[in-house]
Copies of this chain bind each other. A is one copy, B any other.
């Protein structure tokens, strides 16, 4: 258990980052923990795993992909508990970890495919805008480029950690025309370039269809609303947090003020919220592995695709 607590700490401290990485690492930690266990039978094994799961989940309560992954593994073990050997729990976990990883990969591929269709083949250069860095949005844009679509991209630098530069470089490498701006120029850019489509990623989705994403996302949604530009969110359903259905509130993480101002005069309070919410009213469609639909439907589709995780 001690080791598990250390492992959990690595997640809590942000040493491990990125939704997929975190999910897979947590499953690894669970698997390792299982390996160290000596259980007489599956009942006892599961009892122990429940505790481990809760410890891991609690490290990052706003990481649905990890939570859903752990729930998936455990539910699979529960299903099989009558005909499996307590000594090999960690092997089973490995097996389902692979399955879960494949689900994540499949959803990414599918989203790229479906999302790319939203960019039309046209003679005029189509203009897409994004904010921060989302591997899914990047995947959609690369897929559209592969299909020979004619478009350019506007992206924001995304202070204070400048993830927008990562997006800019990846698209540049794929030969996509890219224009880079400061965050506060987002409204100016939407109008100036007559942006046709906005796509961002999501860190989490709630039962009401609200998404949680990088600070500045709601600002961009407001701009989309004012300028009447279609606003889409690309996200695997595995980022849906089923507990929001039970009224659990998502908490917005505060990061280190030093990211914003290294040595401020003493007395100036600095706040560095990492995320903000975008309510369903501003979202035209959610692009998921199950298709494109209004974001309030996420719980239906989640229940259909992933009954083990509800």
Contacts and interface: CB of A to CB of B under 8 A. Distances in A.
A268 to B, nearest CB: 5
Interface stretch (A14-22, A55-63, A92-100, A165-173): A165-173
A134 to B, nearest CB: 15
B180 A269 contact: yes
Contact of A247 (B117, B172, B185, B192): B117
B117 A272 contact: no
B268 A180 contact: yes
Interface string A274-295: 0010011000110100111110
A269 B183 contact: no
Interface residues of A, number: 77
A276 B184 CA distance: 10
Contacts of A157: 159, 260-261
Interface in A204-227: 207-209, 215-216, 218-219, 222-223, 226-227
Contacts of A115: 247
The 8 A-B pairs of least Cβ separation, nearest first, read A184-B216, A117-B247, A245-B291, A294-B296, A114-B247, A183-B184, A179-B269, A222-B222
Interface of A: 113-118, 120, 156-160, 165, 168-169, 172, 177-189, 191-192, 194, 207-209, 215-216, 218-219, 222-223, 226-228, 244-249, 252, 260-261, 264-265, 267-273, 276, 279-280, 284-285, 287, 290-294, 296-297, 299-300
